[in-house]
Amino acid sequence: MKIAITGATGQLGRLVIEKLQAKVAVDQIVALVRNPAKATDLGVEVREADYSQPATLSTALAGVDTLLLISSSEVGQRATQHRNVIAAAKQAGVTRVVYTSVLHADSSPLSLAEEHRATEADLKSSGLTYTLLRNGWYTENYTGSVQGAVAGGAFIGSAREGRISSATRADFAEAAVAVLTGPGHENKTYELAGDESYTLAELAAEISRQTGKDIPYRDLPVADYAAALTGFGVPEGFAHGIASWDADAATGALFDDSHRLSQLIGRPTTPLATAVAAAL
């Protein structure tokens, strides 16, 4: 059984490839990448596959049984790109597609959710067997700012007292591998999130505890947070997106207490303290 992974040189894709090699024979793993030159270190078969170039996709999926469709990073183009992959999977005879969606995609207020909803609908109408991995927020989305918070003396955001049930990319990668290699996941939808939830004030308190410095959380209006991110060099459109997602977190968009992720991986999800220590 050949298992293919799209976006295999991305942060999540690389972790999936690494963890998959401990579960199945290397010759059963196919890395699908836009630029094969960046994938020479993966240790598995590499095939060129571009979400936006349908001609590359059917060839890349030849002989593949199960496909992990890691969602594209190109917001605004995702639905079309994913539709290309799904069509090619059908043409190539792929039997199952596992897709990385977003937490509570069917009801989420996140601006990201619309394209995920479209792809979920496309999969369900395709006739292919599918599994939907509705991934919650990556802890790294916040711990990536830890060093800057320490340098600047505060952790900033717009999430107010919203609770965030994040997990690390490694946790989500392990769940993907469990679904790719285990039975009983056909046509299932999984809401995946961390076991523990926290507010950004609690995250700031953990940073303070580990550094011995007073790093408070400063909650900003959405426009001010977006402006601050732009000032740090984040592209304007992405900065406004990040700020809006924080505002959605304030109303519970990133919270889930189902513990489905830890059930899939057979262990507790990575604690926030561990992720903060890694970031420091």
Question: What pLDDT digit, counting tens, does each position of 136-168 carry?
Answer: 999 999 999 999 999 999 999 999 999 999 999
Question: Any idea what the Cα angle at residue 115 is, between residues 128 and 255, rounded to 5°?
Answer: 100
280 Cα distance to chain centroid: 22
- Is 70 in the same domain as 201? no
Distance CA 250, CA 217 (A): 14
Instruction: Give backbone dihedrals phi and psi of 191, rounded to 5 degrees, phi first.
Output: -85, 115
Band of residue 266 on the pLDDT scale cut at 50, 70, 90 = very high
pLDDT at residue 31 is higher than 90: yes
Per-residue pLDDT averaged across 167-193, rounded?
98
- Is 125 in the same domain as 149? no
CATH number at residue 213: 3.90.25.10
Distance CA 30, CA 32 (A): 6
CATH number at residue 17: 3.40.50.720
Q: What is the pLDDT of residue 115?
A: 96
Residue 18 belongs to a domain: yes
- Label the pairing between strands 129-135 and 96-102: parallel
The last residue of a domain, from among 86, 120, 135? 135
Band of residue 41 on the pLDDT scale cut at 50, 70, 90 = very high
Contact 261, 269 (CB under 8 A): yes
Per-residue pLDDT averaged across 37-57, rounded?
92
- Is 86 in the same domain as 155? no
Q: What is the pLDDT of residue 52?
A: 87
Q: How many domains does the chain have?
A: 2
pLDDT at residue 76 is higher than 90: no
Residue 174 belongs to a domain: no
Residue 160 belongs to a domain: yes
Domain that holds residue 218: 137-167+193-256+270-280
Return the structure tokens found at 212: 């011995």
Residue 181 belongs to a domain: no
pTM of the model: 0.96
Q: What is the pLDDT of residue 1?
A: 87
Residue 250 belongs to a domain: yes
Residue 78 belongs to a domain: yes
- Is 76 in the same domain as 157? no
Q: What is the pLDDT of residue 73?
A: 86
The last residue of a domain, from among 93, 115, 135? 135
Residue 180 belongs to a domain: no
Residue 262 belongs to a domain: no
pLDDT at residue 75 is higher than 90: no
